[in-house]
Structure 1
Amino acid sequence: MAKDFYGDMKLGILGGGQLGRMLIQEAINYNVNIHILDPDKNAPCRKLCNHFECGSLGDFETVYNFGKDLDMLTIEIEKVNVDALEKLEEEGVLVYPQSRIIRLIQDKGLQKHFFKQNNIPTSAFQLISSKENMENSTIKIPFIQKLRKDGYDGKGVKKISSIADLETAFEEPSLIEEWVDFEKEIAVIVARNDRGDISTFPMVEMEFNPEANLVEFLIAPSTYGFEIQQQAEELAKKIADDLQIVGILAVEMFLTKEGEILVNELAPRPHNSGHQSIEGNYVSQFAQHLRAIFNLPLGDTRCRSNAVMINLLGEVGYEGLAKYEGIEEILGMEGVYLHLYGKKITKPFRKMGHICIINDDRELAINNARKVQEILKVKA
């Protein structure tokens, strides 16, 4: 690292949402000068950074001009102009994760080919240029269709359960993959710095909101056996090493009913499956990402306690200025930590915050989390 952390180092973050906000909260400890680019003038990061710029993350000139006077760039969202990042890298700006990795992960088809080429277990798949090709595919119904680009938070994903469902399939280039009858969705966050040190957070278990297809409930650490946890963590390390990534990487996986682990998707940034680490681990995923991109020693990822994370989603039927019900009641409970993301407008299933529930008794942590879910509501 050429510059010290005494206010002269300029770190740019592409994206000013909740991930950028939590990254800033950690970066303050390093006294780093934070610059944010986001298309929303009311982005959650706007008042927390040293410099905020409102502009398109997909426009070459905007991203290039934003980054050219910075020392380093990182991302909190993958949908950014990679051509601009490549040019900035050529001109000496450090970009972590590297632009080639962002380009790979932007395209779910390229991700799948990467898994195949590197002997990483994943579900059977086929790339489709248009929905007309689907009826003759080698993957039989039921299957999952995913847009190759621009899908996020459950958007851009459809289950095709019957021939009739093909009528409403996506028209754009996509991949179809075998429907996995999994027992549990699991995830491992892994970090790698430029000197090649690699460290994983303990495996976590996830429950999804079936309507929004978003992580609604996350439990750490996992209670699955040592062999399964070790296998998941070794897979994450292999992927980080194969990619030679610098930064943090979320590896989302399925655990099948036969005990097999299949890698589903990657996210080269802090991720929803690591939010519990702020209170639940000795080092948080945000601190670990900064350690990795600053090429510092990686932190201690061990769990401090049982942690349950709940996404605070906008209630169905409400859209407008956010109003929070039940905050005082949940904060009267032991081991409850609230994180609001600073979003002014709520709408159904929008991520408005998260809550982490800590307890040495795992069942009590889960029960308290269920109570919090019932009490805390985001309305308008």
Structure 2
Amino acid sequence: MKQTLFSSDFRLGILGGGQLGKMMLYTTRKWDVQTYVMDEDDTAPAFEGCTVFFEGDIMDYEAVMEFGRQVDVLTIEIENVNVQALEDLEAEGIAVSPSASVLNRIRNKARQKTFYKEQGIPTADFQLFPQPEINHNRSYPFIWKSAEGGYDGKGVKVIRSTADLNDLPAQECIYEDMVDFEMELAVIVARNADGDIKTYPVVEMEFHPEANQVEYVICPARVTDAVSRKARDLALKVSEAFEHVGLLAVELFLTKNGEILVNEVAPRPHNSGHYSIEGAVTDQFEQHVRCVLNLPLGSTDTVLPAVMVNLVGAEGYIGNVIYDGIEDILAMDGVTPHIYGKKQTRPFRKMGHVTVVAKEIETARKLAEEVKAKIKVVSS
């Protein structure tokens, strides 16, 4: 008899208690699936929504081993976890999704980029260095990326001269060609353990010029059907190469000459899929839970065109958070704010997002700009 997942002793474990974990819990609470969460911060956003919360460092081998032995299936909401512990838990028979081998390949950007080259997956030309190197053969400008630990715009810098290579951390890094792109796109691929696969529509990402963070996500992307098919086909090729279980968010560059290049991937729910809570039949968080529990995949069809607006801490504010103007946006039709539950704000910290839906994508995009102007994340 198949194991009963719902209203039973079955336990799903999530490493990481941030906003992605919190939004996965919308589904586990809806389905009455017991969910254990571990995070070193007992004020983490997922603290209140799980069945049991464990305070612990997800990079600590012993802590992850102890936590993992108490669950039936283990997943992540962030890549920076102890991969050796995941490998050993898999050897003990714990189902880990995505697998330790997939995480090991993705979480280090040098290994990730090398993998693309080996698999014949188009990506920007690059070089690897054990630490920043002044003597190189690249033309300025180019992109410096830290091989490990970068996220939300951190660990990435535009190098315009030799002087920009000073004061960079002495660790493994990538020098990458600066791509002359038309726009940045993303495709989320869902794959369960049976190998069933679905892709979400191609989305367009607009970035904040200073913070290098996504400011708007637009679904569907304003591209031709041919570009959309090409992007989804490439995302499927990447998914097939990794053989992941769960979601794989594939970030892409559409170049000015019509090429599509893979930038990087994330093996989990992703900022580019937040719109799906209101904008898709099955949101990305439910889909990830379906994947890791090896359940049938839900429809990825769009309900209404949608634009996601990131809510990040305003510059010049640190302290107890205030969402100034939230009542104003709540009065707007088709606008839904999501507050992550972080009590302290700081400049550019992700504090929430707002989804705007409308019958036409250009209407949604215009409303999103109005939302952005009305709400500010400040402090008391």
Letter in 2 for 1:42: T
**Aligned equivalents of 1:339 and 1:260: distance in 2?**
35
Q: Please say which of residues 222-231 and 197-206 is displaced more in the overlay.
A: 222-231
Name the structure 2 match of 1:54. 55
Name the structure 1 match of 2:159. 160
TM-score w.r.t. length of structure 1: 0.97
Name the structure 2 match of 1:351. 350
**Aligned equivalents of 1:184 and 1:56: distance in 2?**
37
Letter in 2 for 1:31: D
**Aligned equivalents of 1:305 and 1:20: distance in 2?**
25
Q: Is residue 97–residue 246 contact of structure 1 (8 Å, CA) maintained in 2?
A: yes
C-alpha displacement of 1:30: 2.1
C-alpha displacement of 1:259: 0.8
**Aligned equivalents of 2:314 and 2:31: distance in 1?**
37
Q: Is residue 158–residue 169 contact of structure 1 (8 Å, CA) maintained in 2?
A: no
**Aligned equivalents of 2:231 and 2:287: distance in 1?**
19
Name the structure 1 match of 2:262. 263
Name the structure 2 match of 1:136. 136
**Aligned equivalents of 1:214 and 1:252: distance in 2?**
13
Name the structure 2 match of 1:74. 75
Q: Is residue 128–residue 134 contact of structure 1 (8 Å, CA) maintained in 2?
A: no
**Aligned equivalents of 2:121 and 2:32: distance in 1?**
39
**Aligned equivalents of 1:252 and 1:136: distance in 2?**
27
Name the structure 2 match of 1:371. 370
Q: Deviations over 1:116-156 (max 9, x none)?
A: 1111100001101122x34224x322110111111111101
**Number of residue-to-residue matches in the alignment:** 378
Letter in 1 for 2:256: K
1:179-258 → structure 2 map (5 Å cutoff): 179-258=178-257
Q: Is residue 190–residue 199 contact of structure 1 (8 Å, CA) maintained in 2?
A: yes
3-state secondary structure, aligned to 2:135: helix
Name the structure 2 match of 1:107. 108
Name the structure 2 match of 1:23. 24
Name the structure 1 match of 2:45. 44
Taking structure 1 as reference, are residues 18 and 62 closer, same or farther at Cα in structure 2, changes over 3 Å only?
same
Q: Deviations over 1:230-280 (max 9, x none)?
A: 111111111111111110010001111111101000100000000000100
Instruction: Determine if the alignment matches structure 1 residue 88 to structure 2 residue 64.
Output: no
Letter in 1 for 2:239: A
**Aligned equivalents of 2:340 and 2:102: distance in 1?**
27
Letter in 2 for 1:91: E
3-state secondary structure, aligned to 1:236: helix
**Aligned equivalents of 2:324 and 2:315: distance in 1?**
14
Letter in 2 for 1:44: P
Q: Is residue 310–residue 354 contact of structure 1 (8 Å, CA) maintained in 2?
A: yes
1:293-308 → structure 2 map (5 Å cutoff): 293-308=292-307
C-alpha displacement of 1:305: 1.1
**Aligned equivalents of 1:359 and 1:377: distance in 2?**
23
Structure 2 unaligned blocks of 5 or more: none
Q: Is residue 44–residue 343 contact of structure 1 (8 Å, CA) maintained in 2?
A: yes
Letter in 2 for 1:207: E
1:115-126 → structure 2 map (5 Å cutoff): 115-126=116-127
Letter in 1 for 2:263: N
Letter in 2 for 1:153: D
**Aligned equivalents of 1:2 and 1:197: distance in 2?**
20
C-alpha displacement of 1:297: 1.6
**Aligned equivalents of 1:108 and 1:3: distance in 2?**
38
**Aligned equivalents of 2:362 and 2:348: distance in 1?**
27
Instruction: Determine if the alignment matches structure 1 residue 283 to structure 2 residue 269.
Output: no
Letter in 2 for 1:25: Y
**Aligned equivalents of 1:32 and 1:241: distance in 2?**
29
Q: Is residue 134–residue 162 contact of structure 2 (8 Å, CA) maintained in 1?
A: no
Instruction: Determine if the alignment matches structure 1 residue 327 to structure 2 residue 326.
Output: yes
**Aligned equivalents of 1:85 and 1:345: distance in 2?**
31
**Aligned equivalents of 1:5 and 1:198: distance in 2?**
23
**Aligned equivalents of 2:323 and 2:161: distance in 1?**
41
Q: Is residue 74–residue 96 contact of structure 1 (8 Å, CA) maintained in 2?
A: yes
Q: Is residue 142–residue 179 contact of structure 1 (8 Å, CA) maintained in 2?
A: yes
Letter in 2 for 1:177: E
Q: Is residue 220–residue 361 contact of structure 2 (8 Å, CA) maintained in 1?
A: no
3-state secondary structure, aligned to 1:135: coil
C-alpha displacement of 1:108: 0.3
Q: Is residue 73–residue 293 contact of structure 2 (8 Å, CA) maintained in 1?
A: no
**Aligned equivalents of 1:65 and 1:3: distance in 2?**
24
Letter in 2 for 1:20: G
**Aligned equivalents of 1:374 and 1:6: distance in 2?**
44
Structure 1 unaligned blocks of 5 or more: none
C-alpha displacement of 1:88: 0.7
